[in-house]
Amino acid sequence: MNILTEKFNTPYHSAPFNQIKNEDYLPAFRELIKKSEEEIDGIVSNPEEPTFENVIEALAYSGEQLDVVSNIFFNLNSAETSDELQQIAQEVSPILTEYSSKISQNEALFKKIKKVYHEKEKYDLNDEQQMLLNETYKGFVRSGALLNEEDKEKLKKISMELSVKSLQFGQNVLASTNSYFKHITKKEDLAGIPDAIMEQYAEEAKERNLEGWVVTLQYPSYVPFMTYAENRELRKELALANGKKSFDGGEFDNQNLIKELLTLKQQKAELLGYKNYADYVLEERMAKSPTKVSDFLNELLTKAKPYADKEIEELKSLAKADGIDEIQAYDHAFYAEKLRKAKFDLNDEELRPYFPLNQVQDAVFGLANKLFGLTFVERNDLPKYHEDVKVYEVFEAGSRKSEAGSTHPEKNFKALLYVDYFPRKGKRAGAWMTSYKNQYQKNGENSRPHISIVCNFTKPTKDTPSLLTFQEVTTLFHEFGHALHGMLANTLYPTLSGTSVKWDFVELPSQFLENFCYEPEFLKTFAKHYKTGEVLPDEKIEKIAQSKNFMEGYQTLRQLGFGLLDMNYHTKVEELENKTIKEFEDGYTKATQLYPTNPETAMSPSFSHIFQGGYSAGYYSYKWAEVLDADAFQYFKENGIFNPDIATKYKILLSSGGTKDPMELYKSFRGSEPKVESLLKRAFG
């Protein structure tokens, strides 16, 4: 028996991680693809007249178990991978792409979809059904349903190559990150590094059977070193190693892979009748066109550049006092921290003891309770994929009973939440929210979602719990905002549920929640010293609130640089015929560069967001969503940050997923369209 092809015999049919063997995956994918194809054949061969129910709905609910197994596999390949899992991924990805292409190019199926679409007036469809019909039809057209057979075959081949190459890109970045570490044997080389971080470096060395200390390129190791290490040469060495990730001409170099990926995307766009890949992507986004995106980014660049220049001048003055005539990018974090300390009397290490991970998690859970009535109960008996992972039942006040065994039988079960906080060799860098199972309603049952948050926070040591920097605090709130989007989902169809929204709308819930971290009223409830329980002093809390916009100009230009580079990669790919990746990158980020560039480094070869993740021609979404989140939080600020009426309206926006146009959803919540002035006011006063 293959555990992956059976109905999971676990509470809430959660993923049976402890029973899955790597050898289960390939046979399971093949069997479940076959089963899903049989479901599609059933829709196609149905002799009855095509209707919304027997075509569009039937298609939306098809392949459920295949989706669940795909989610399990690819989530583990990001959070707990191995050489064996990566090899399986290389085999599975083209199989799944071929299956997807087979469906989207099924002429008989599309004929039925087209018939329902063109006769939609005769069906009494609600908003969500209308959206599902429109999205289904458009999805098929955008996947090549209108192409001739020869072009369909070309598109299928391109899609398969893209799936394999994007996977390889991510594997190269992970391998390149893991291949470097700096072994330090002299304590004086670590001057300036706080004790807690020193302990972390010592633990890393111990794990590698080395004496002294080890610094890696993992975020919780690299960033504190760049922030506090007084040894400038070592900062330079670490920065060089970080900037060379997949850009050193070695085994894990991604430069040629980038060109191949971009060429394939351009070919795909042209086959489907678009000028370039950005045109193809943005047709389905709020922004609609590359021109509108570029105008938006350049408008912000014009507004933010003077502030950024002023910030860098302040850092230059500090560096000059230390005898540094030309400040470099690898000096930025060090002198920014000095300036922050001088301006606000704050530094991350001073704040860390007040933000133990368990307290920050309790705070974000408490916020979800206050705004949306959610409670979280840990389940120690549910299967997990790693001992670091914790699993929570999420409840909401209601009448329907939860599963037997729950400590809150009077509560309405809302979701499962997995949290996975610490870096490991098999986990990719960064932080993300994902799902193992989407929410949907079928046959009178509301099937609830299984959501996951994955981060790379500072690990606990034998003497100290995990203590977060303030930036890590905001990261947890950010990912939890995404998780709320998933957990509160309440739609009919899995394809419109939770975060299945326009990509430039998806960051609103995450960035919105970060705002609470800067509110003194809220901070006082959880910023407490892990040893003494002492609340962070009022003046420090006030300084945190005041420091919200610290280096905002610099951060804005950095994000705009990424966004402009992404947009140019996906509109001007032909330029790469005569340019290196480095030349292209430097050319299109020049206007946002605040430090001299280094010929030995480039960020594009490790820019996983756009070459592995879903942000191709979409990185601008972060700044776009900042306009939304600034405007939305302004609404709360004007009426009280815990205002129950506004929270209820916001909950409706979250629970609606992709069932309506995002601007309609936003206007229903806010009463008007978002104003870019809200962002400018928050950022620059």
| 137 and 224 both lie in a single domain | no
Q: State yes or no: is 479 an active-site residue.
A: yes
**H or E stretch at 398:** none
Last residue of a domain, one of 207, 235, 263: 235
Q: Name the catalytic one among 135, 337, 393, 479.
A: 479
The tally of CA atoms less than 13 A away on the side-chain side of residue 674 is 25
pTM of the predicted model as reported, rounded to 2 decimal places: 0.87
Would you state the pLDDT for residue 411?
67
Q: Is residue 282 part of a domain?
A: no
Would you state the pLDDT for residue 648?
97
Would you state the pLDDT for residue 676?
86
| 186 and 64 both lie in a single domain | no
Would you state the pLDDT for residue 214?
98
CA gyration radius for the chain?
25
CATH of the domain at 15: 1.20.1050.40
Give exposure, 599-635, as e/b (b: 16+ Cβ within 10 Å).
eebbbbbbbbbbbbbebbbbbbbbbbbbbbbbbbbbb
H-type alpha helices, 322-398:
332-344, 348-351, 357-372
| 202 and 124 both lie in a single domain | no
For residue 203, the enclosing domain spans: 180-235
d(CA 495, CA 162) in angstroms, rounded, equals 22
Mean pLDDT by 10 residues, the chain (685 residues): 94 96 97 97 97 97 97 96 95 94 93 96 94 96 94 95 95 95 97 94 96 95 96 98 96 98 98 98 94 95 96 97 96 96 88 96 98 97 97 80 46 94 91 96 95 95 92 97 98 96 92 96 96 95 91 96 98 97 98 96 97 93 93 95 97 97 95 90 84
Report DSSP letters for 64-94, one per residue: HHHHHHHHHHHHHHHHS--HHHHHHHHHHHH
| 115 and 203 both lie in a single domain | no
d(CA 425, CA 177) in angstroms, rounded, equals 9
Last residue of a domain, one of 530, 549, 568: 549
Give yes or no for a contact between 305 and 594, defined as CB atoms under 8 angstroms apart. no
Biggest distance spanned by C-alpha atoms of the chain: 82
Query: Which tokens belong to 523?
Result: 């901070």
CATH of the domain at 395: 1.10.1370.40
Q: Is residue 603 part of a domain?
A: no
d(CA 185, CA 187) in angstroms, rounded, equals 6
How many domains does one find in the chain?
3
The CB density around residue 648, as the number of other CB atoms within 10 Å, is: 13
